[in-house]
Amino acid sequence: MTIGASRICVLPHFHAFGLILDILSSLVARQTILLRQSKRFLPHAFAADVERYHATETAMVPRMLELLCDAATRRTEIAVKIKPLCIHVGGAPLSSELLKSAQSLVRSVVIGYGLTEAGPGVLLNGRSVCGAKFKFRPLPDSPDLFELLIDSPCIGIFPGKSEKLSH
């Protein structure tokens, strides 16, 4: 999150957890959050809001990103308006094809799948809270991508291989 950024939250209403995190993080980061009342995601209306409010960040689910990319490839005016965005995507896995398409249309894409499920009380404005320990590990196949490793009493115990973390 960028301090002072204008952030448009278009997450579906059933993603209440993500909406709450956006609202809470905006209090710390002093962001502006615009919530749309429409239950449908309308790419042209979203792009108009991005331009109107000089938005630089947003959060959405993969289906919304797919609709936005599809609209932007068909309509140049939408592509121009969304170019400055950093889009945080969560709620479901993101296909590599959709990621490549989105990366060609916007400033950056942050894959947050899993963070909304495991993130409460872990990181807020880049700082550890609730006794969480975390570190970033580069992915072996992609030195530009990192995995966030978290050790926190807030997220419970997950089966499988675990790795001890230190600050």
Range from 82-91, 104-113, 114-123, 130-139 carrying the lowest mean pLDDT = 114-123
- The pLDDT of residue 7 is 73
- Angle between helices 96-105 and 62-74 in degrees, nearest 10: 50
- The pLDDT of residue 22 is 61
Domains of the chain: 6-118 (3.40.50.980), 121-167 (no CATH)
Residue 13 pLDDT grade (very low, low, confident, very high; cuts 50, 70, 90): low
Range from 13-27, 30-44, 73-87, 149-163 carrying the lowest mean pLDDT = 149-163
Residue 45 pLDDT grade (very low, low, confident, very high; cuts 50, 70, 90): very high
pLDDT at 122 over 60: no
Q: What is the mean pLDDT of the chain?
A: 74
pLDDT at 17 over 60: no
- The pLDDT of residue 165 is 46
User: Closest Cα to residue 135, out of 125, 147, 126, 127?
Assistant: 147
Give the DSSP per-residue string, 24-59: HHHHHHT-EEEE---SS--HHHHHHHHHHTT--EEE
Share of the chain above pLDDT 90, in %: 26
Distance CA 104, CA 115 (A): 24
Q: What's the mean pLDDT in 2-13? A: 67
